[in-house]
Chains A and B, each alone.
Chain A
Amino acid sequence: MTLTWWLSTIRRDEAVRVLPIWLVFTALNTSALVGMVAFRGAATGSTEASLQGLAMVLWFALVAPLVVGRFRRRCSRLDLALPLRSRNLWLAHTSAMVVAGAVVLTASIGVVALHSTALTRAPYLQFTVPGVASLAIALLAAWVLAAVLLQSYRPELKDIPGGVRYAALLIAIVLGVAAALWFLVSIPILLAIGLLALAWAVTNRTLRSLPPVLSLVPREPADHQIQHTSSAATGSPVTPSSPQTDLGMAGLVGRIIYNAPPLGAATSWFMFIFLGFVGMALSGIFDVWMDDVEVLRLIWLPFGAYGLFSLVGPLTYRLNSLDPLPIGRRLIFALLTLPALLAFCLGYGFSAVVKETTDHGQNLVEYRIEKPYYWVDVPEGFFEIARDGEIPTLTSPWGESYIAWSAPLFRGSPTVLYSPFNTAEESSADFEAWLTSRAIESVYGVSVPWAEIRDRYFEVEGEQLAGLATGGFTLAADYGPLVPPAGGPEFPVILLLVAPPWLLLLAVFLRTFRAGLGDRARQAVFWSVAAGLVILMLGIAALMISGLFSPRIVRGFLEVMLRQVGDSPLQTISLWMVSLMTTVATYFVARRQFLKAELPPKATKFMLIDWTGETD
């Protein structure tokens, strides 16, 4: 084979063709994961990310596309028709995987290097990422081994068969190599040599087992053929299946929609899990374990609509096979939309329950001392709002006062959020104790005399606070159990911000399934909406970075508002009603468009990457 053939074959390999998307996907993954490592590091007080942690970040970001990617295709049908040896086809595909992985790994390391630079320079984080150059060799070797091992499964076939065995193999390879990286990453060169030696051995063994040509399908008969033959041979009567109930029929239709290409069962489940994860993120569950992640929560609001929207597009691909059947469009629309919404809601609900349980064990009122600063630390949700910007002065019964700390909702906004509990550096210990007492009462509804707080928790020099008493600020142990008040009705707001926008955008997309509008119009609308939501997400991030608003303040503002709403049953019911009725109304708007839709006989998959590769 000439060099030209090798280059051309590698270039048109699926692994290389999906490289642009894979690069973006992995860069984002790496970026998010490194960000989380940094957040975690900042939260735990460590100043440097561990090499093992980085290895895991880079490894899992690199292999994530393997789960849904089209790496199972070793060659095209055309290749099979050409006078090419299976050995060359196998080597070309495996090489393409290695090359693509190397490119992606390089980009990932670039992302980490960028993060490293930014984090090292951030004075408030004081967090550094160790050099990753030494990791690169070990990771590349790990990737080579993973690619070879994966391709050693059923090497005689044109496509690696999917299914449970393949999934188990994939998981075993990913986790096995991850374990090797975890334990041996401190000796990267030796690790790389070991992994490459193993890869070489597996390659040799696989090449020896290859037949001269690859096969389209396995040599052994499929299960159904065996069964059919035996049934015919024995002449046993065939019992018809029992009639389906309406629910059973809906289940079968759901299987046609979700289990068939272009998504397929695995990707559909992955999407549901992902939407559940989005619901979890929007519930704020990650705040429990990591500080300062409100930023993710705000950004993920448009991402929720994006996730729901991007799922429905590919599902329209299979609908033309249902169209000739007497199945109501209302049922089909419900099957297209409700499972995704349910996954999102379940993710949110599950996390909300976990969060509620976890919150009970947390101290919401803390007294913090980071000299020269002292302050009562209370979640922003217990702050107050001044709509006209008039910030009150906090005045104790003995006349000591301080103007409350405040922050505008966004830059230039007259509405401000202020803390009714903060103090000045020069405030007296009594004033600190008095405000702490107010905070405890405000958060837990428990009245603790301020003098008791001063005597039990503070060390006082003269009139000033010198520090916390030796036992610390053990509020829960001393006055517990302290049950925080239930938060306001947050879910209807989240639902309102995610579901109606999604359904309205879906209605716009479904409006393009009409006579006179071609595939180009549908594609334009679908991708414009998807891109618009991603841009909105990035726009929110950009506004936060530019300092136009702070996610903590916005979140605090919403929580205060929701707490106020939650205090009134009537307002709570009204909020729920508005949220549900808006969602239902927009559902009907979108459904109306679906009822009128004409499903084109040649459907479009509406996917950036056709994971199933049905085209060959």
Chain B
Amino acid sequence: MPIAEFNNIHRAYERGKNVLDGVSFSIEPGQVVGLVGRNGAGKTTLLRIAMGMLEAQQGSVDLFGLDPRDRPIEVKQRLGYVSEDQILSPVMRVEAIIDLHRSLFPTWDEAVAERLIDRFEIPRRAKIKNLSKGQARQVALLCAISHRPELLLLDEPAGGLDPAARREFLETSIRLLNETGSTILFSSHYMTDVERLADRIVMIHDGSVLIDTQLDELRENYSLALVPHETVSSREDLLGLTNCLGVRDRADAFHAIFQLEPEKASSLLEGVLGVRDTRCTRIALEEMFIELAGGQG
């Protein structure tokens, strides 16, 4: 049974401008899912809908088989959540914040909290406003994972942190939760983080899921073909091909992404369009993101 299920989610902030336009996917227990997409793609909106903080105008969300809007307390007690713009109350001391979370989560694990306090060297008596951005985020992480949530939602959790703090932050959260088989859905702009940590990628583009695949499969079964301009008449010729996910018209050539192994993509181009000796290669996630989500610019 999936731990989280998004069914045909629609959401608009302005009438007629859907941020999410029919997003559907589900997450099985134990998966670490990276949610990627451009700024404004709807990642934060989707995570907020999962938290029950926003309401889907169409479609439904189930977390642990519950609707987060109908059963917010039960759902949130089983969740952990950290976001880039989440603001812990600046006037409260770390210990008061921890006290609050301890009282809210029945499964609070004092040992985990203590371990993280020691590891991050967080001053207990400090007020949040006196901490650095990295420390404040560490407190947020501590609060989000010390109750060993069944599902951790991270919305750009490492945004604004330096590379060392970012890695420390993500590895700590992933490792700690993997110990208990927790599920993680995290959004990030750092493709290296996603590639290192996630075992599955969901890419949102133009309001819907463009790619939903295991990371291994992505490495094996997706390819980039550089098709010289003179070999095809237009971009649409390539887009018309089966398994072609997107084409960018660049100065050197058309950059086409195929959901095929490089050899098969090359064969397809030759067989259908008569384009020979096309350079087809496997593609890194960051490249794929730029090619698919980067537009024609």
Contact = CB atoms under 8 A, between A and B. Distances in A.
Interface of A: 222-225, 227-228, 232, 238, 240-241, 243-246, 248-249, 252-253, 255-256, 259-261, 264-265, 318, 320-321, 323-329, 515-516, 518, 598-599, 601
Contacts of A246: 103
Nearest to A221: B130
A324 B99 contact: no
A513 B199 CA distance: 37
A226 B85 CA distance: 29
Given A222-B126, A516-B13, 19 more contacts: A228-B125, A238-B124, A241-B98, A243-B102, A243-B103, A244-B103, A255-B91, A256-B89, A260-B90, A321-B88, A324-B81, A325-B100, A325-B101, A325-B104, A326-B77, A328-B73, A518-B14, A598-B54, A599-B53
Contacts of B96: 252, 255
Contact of B51 (A241, A324, A328): A324
Contact of B89 (A240, A318, A328, A599): A318
B15 interface: yes
Contacts of B126: 222, 224-225, 228
Interface in B109-157: 110, 113-114, 117, 121, 123-127, 130
Given A261-B90, A321-B86, A326-B77, A223 B125 contact: yes
A224 B89 contact: no
A259 B93 CA distance: 12
B55 interface: yes
A321 B140 CA distance: 11
Nearest to B128: A260
27 contacts: A224-B93, A225-B126, A228-B125, A240-B114, A241-B95, A241-B99, A244-B103, A246-B103, A248-B103, A249-B104, A253-B100, A256-B92, A259-B92, A260-B89, A261-B90, A320-B53, A321-B87, A324-B51, A324-B76, A325-B101, A328-B72, A329-B72, A515-B13, A515-B55, A516-B15, A518-B14, A601-B48
B92 A516 contact: no
Interface in B1-40: 11-15
A249 to B, nearest CB: 4
Given A260-B89, A321-B86, A252 B54 contact: no
B4 to A, nearest CB: 16
B231 interface: no
A232 B117 CA distance: 12
Interface of B: 11-15, 44, 48, 51, 53-55, 57, 72-77, 79, 81, 83, 85-93, 95-96, 98-105, 110, 113-114, 117, 121, 123-127, 130
Closest 8 CB pairs of A and B: A224-B126, A244-B103, A228-B123, A326-B76, A249-B103, A256-B89, A252-B100, A324-B81
A312 to B, nearest CB: 18
Contacts of A255: 89, 91-92, 96
A241 B76 CA distance: 23
Contacts of A256: 89, 92, 100
B117 A238 contact: yes
Contacts of B121: 228, 232
Contacts of A324: 51, 53, 76, 79, 81, 83, 86
User: Dominant SS at the B interface?
Assistant: mixed
A248 B98 CA distance: 13
A253 B48 CA distance: 21
Contacts of A327: 73, 104
Contacts of B103: 243-246, 248-249, 252
Contacts of A598: 53-55
B21 to A, nearest CB: 15
A299 to B, nearest CB: 36
Nearest to A258: B91
Nearest to B15: A516
Given A224-B127, A228-B123, A326 B100 contact: no
A13 B124 CA distance: 37
A515 B14 CA distance: 9
A264 B89 CA distance: 11
B100 A249 contact: yes
Which residue among B11, B75, B126 has the maximum number of chain A CB atoms within 10 Å of its CB?
B126
Contacts of B77: 326
Given A238-B124, A244-B99, A326-B104, A260 B76 contact: no
Contacts of A328: 72-73
A515 B11 contact: yes
Contacts of A252: 92, 96, 99-100, 103
A244 B100 contact: yes
Nearest to A238: B124
Contacts of B127: 224
A246 B105 CA distance: 12
A327 B75 CA distance: 11
Nearest to A224: B126
A222 B128 CA distance: 12
Contact of A518 (B13, B93, B114, B130): B13
A318 to B, nearest CB: 7
A325 B55 CA distance: 17
B140 to A, nearest CB: 10
Which residue among A264, A323, A327 has the maximum number of chain B CB atoms within 10 Å of its CB?
A323
